[in-house]
Structure 1
């Protein structure tokens, strides 16, 4: 729906700013704090697991070379960086494995956009976990509401919504944590729009994780400049030639943004989808289906003639590597996901080492997988897996429920197991339980004390 003339005087940026300053900690329940704790555990754990990736090592070296006033921790590196560079590094390390959480309205990863800048700011300013949680909910609310009105075509066009929408949510979250006024928040939104970018062409490369990390760094830059008196457009979101005109298709955000903060919150209706597997979420239903069929029928790779994956319309858009040659490319390949699941009986962090993807046993079988989209509706989402056996049987499974999704979440025990695996993968197993325990009591802790549990 395009903006009508009746709405031209309505100010989207001001609406968001008023929501940010007016939202109260009294609006949060214990369940909301628990969700925030789970998001923090998952995000930091996958960043710790990603610290040895080349992109992370290069980002840390860059951040250390830039200097600045040390204020926040590089997770898993036990190094203090400037808050902007800590957000950049932690965002890169937390996204490079593509193992961080997702939310459906965004078609992307909310916590990696929100938490690296929020935690860096909270650590530097000795904020409480309660203050962090309130700001996180504010940012998540803005991010999801914006996405609801414009992200489908925006993402299909090629934008990386984790960055291109996430920067705006992160900016409002940081503005709330920093205590900016409505006017300062509006200027911060303008400064965020000035920096917002991110393209899906960079998927399968280091630049994808950079886009996520840069979202947090840009958000901090926007709020700190706004706090210092730097100004932006009165409504860089909704005005002519603003964000909605250029990044979206001129959709009218009134209906969604006027719902900001009204119960039920996006935390309740959208929630977080915590990944079971460390690759693009678009593959996960297929992996579940393949692993289920393999387990139910005792399938061995030598028995398989071919595999067909059929998914709902636009479900496979991010999967741009039918013949991946590297671990990063493998994270955006339905073909590799299926072959790895059949060949190894699992899809794990080790599946995305370059040598795992480059195995002849994998490369020679990629062509046996055919993946296509149905021409029908985009939702509800589903995937059909068909495995064609050499003996003529066709084994089929339709997967609708996504394990780890908001309506089928990982249990706390499963999340803790994932966190422990991430810490162990990065040779930091000794720190896992201390961090998890501290993060689970987020509301009653200082953020600085929680992050201190990651120390060497």
Structure 2
């Protein structure tokens, strides 16, 4: 079988009862994190623009489709919900990541899967298994091509994520093997997203578009729309073109234990900015709080990281909140000035503080030569009194090796709700709602999530 046929075989064979409690709980945690981050991002300019688009698309007939996250009772079409919720969940750059994928897996999956499941009132156990299927496929593809594709400038969250999302949508809809193959071919026809958009609203659009396009591909295939069975493997197909001829075919048999959700897993972000800054931030904040360092005491900061670890950090002198999320220099300044790196650190006014500009000018950033893995970061703070304090970080807080506790995850959700101006929201209530995944209908699940915010 070729890659499309193997993905289709796995998607059709996998069942909700195959997951087990451990995988289900991984889905619960991912849904809570993605949903709460989307609520926090729902009022960002990019999200508001996307909502205006959705309303224009729907016209006066806001028929029952799917609801906007953080949008109270507002229902829009399925594609618009997938697009808008994808934008909202990614615009703050606070959503989870999978390092070997070189991207954000959950935001490439949950918005489309949730829109379909809510609108069609599919059992939420099937929604969870669709997430597992999508995650398995995108990681399987990523193993053979993500590093090279990302290095060439593709935004892998969207450019690989669309195939995983399409497989998940096909599973959710119960498409047969031929329909699933067609859906994957239609997804290839829409795959895109480039790193040049990092630090702009278009990056979050690429995540939303990934979901809307995947949903469109699955629904068209359900109606009999056809595509090449070799759209992934063929001479002029996805692997050859998007991998520049270097990509390996889909490895092994999909679905072998341990599944990718356990094997590759999810790293949950502690800080609402690019993951490439997080090891350095862990080290910097450990020094600051461990030694009681004030920003006024700092003469210079030197950051050094493993090869390739800093590639996404393209804004050494950011001028906006979005640009600040992709700046190691601003990460250092925010941590020293604010004592923590929270959502409030990324307003345009915060990034443009004169004190931040001074600290950024005194920060140097460099990558080491050698292997990309294992990743590490070293931080040295040089104080005005002549002392030098240093910290090396390898094991990253929030990663598979040092996961956030459930209490930590609820605290992050609370920060997101507060940022969205929803003080009446209860992070515990949101957690309780997400924990009902796999036990109630999807329509009821998302009603309870809205109630929780």
Q: Report the TM-score range of the alignment, normalised by the length of the smaller protein.
A: over 0.9
1:57-76 mapped onto 2 (5 Å cutoff): 57-67=48-58, 69-76=63-70
Provide the C-alpha distance between the structure 2 equivalents of 1:188 and 1:201, rounded to a whole number of angstroms: 28
- Structure 1: stretches of 5+ with no match in the other structure: 1-9
How far has the Cα of 1:249 moved from its partner?
A: 3.1
Residue number among 231, 238, 241 corresponding to 2:233 in the alignment? 238
Q: Which residue of structure 2 lines up, in the alignment, with residue 176 of structure 1?
A: 171
- Kept in 2, the 8 Å contact 1:285–1:400? The answer is yes
Alignment partner for residue 29 of structure 2, among 27, 38, 41? 38
Aligned to 2:399: 405
Instruction: State which of 210, 222, 242 in structure 2 corresponds to 1:215.
Output: 210
1: CA distance, partners of 2:14 / 2:248: 20
- For 2:444 and 2:429, locate their aligned partners in 1 and report how far apart those are by CA, in whole Å: 11
Aligned pair partner of 1:21 in 8, 12, 20: 12
RMSD: 1.2
Q: 1:398 is paired with a residue of what secondary structure?
A: strand
Which residue does the alignment assign to 1:248?
Answer: 243
Q: How does 1:138-157 map to 2 (within 5 A)?
A: 138-157=133-152
Q: What does residue range 410-421 of structure 1 map to in structure 2 within 5 Å?
A: 410-421=404-415
Deviates more, 1:318-327 or 1:383-392: 383-392
Query: Which position in structure 1 is the counterpart of 2:378?
Result: 384
1:176-219, Cα deviation, whole Å (9 max, x unpaired): 00000111001100100110100110011000000000000000
Give 2:2's aligned residue: 11
Corresponding position of 2:221: 226
Q: Does residue 195 of structure 2 align to residue 200 of structure 1? A: yes
Q: Calculate the TM-score normalised by the size of structure 1.
A: 0.96
User: How big is the shift at 1:274?
Assistant: 0.7
Pick which of 87-96 and 69-78 moved more: 69-78
Alpha-carbon distance between aligned partners in 2 of 1:105 and 1:444, rounded to the nearest angstrom:
31
Alpha-carbon distance in structure 1 between the residues aligned to 2:168 and 2:160: 13
Shift of 1:170: 0.3
Q: Offset at 1:303?
A: 1.4
Match of 1:336 in 2: 330
Supply the distance in 2 between the matched residues of 1:53 and 1:303 (Cα, whole angstroms): 35
Normalization by structure 2: what TM-score?
0.96
Q: Is the 8 A contact 2:47 2:87 kept in 1?
A: yes
Give CA deviations for 1:304-336 in whole Å, capped at 9, x if unaligned: 111111111110000000000000000000000
> 52-61 or 65-74, which moves further after superposition?
65-74
Q: 1:14–1:235: 8 Å Cα contact kept in structure 2?
A: no
Q: CA offset at residue 252 of structure 1? A: 5.3
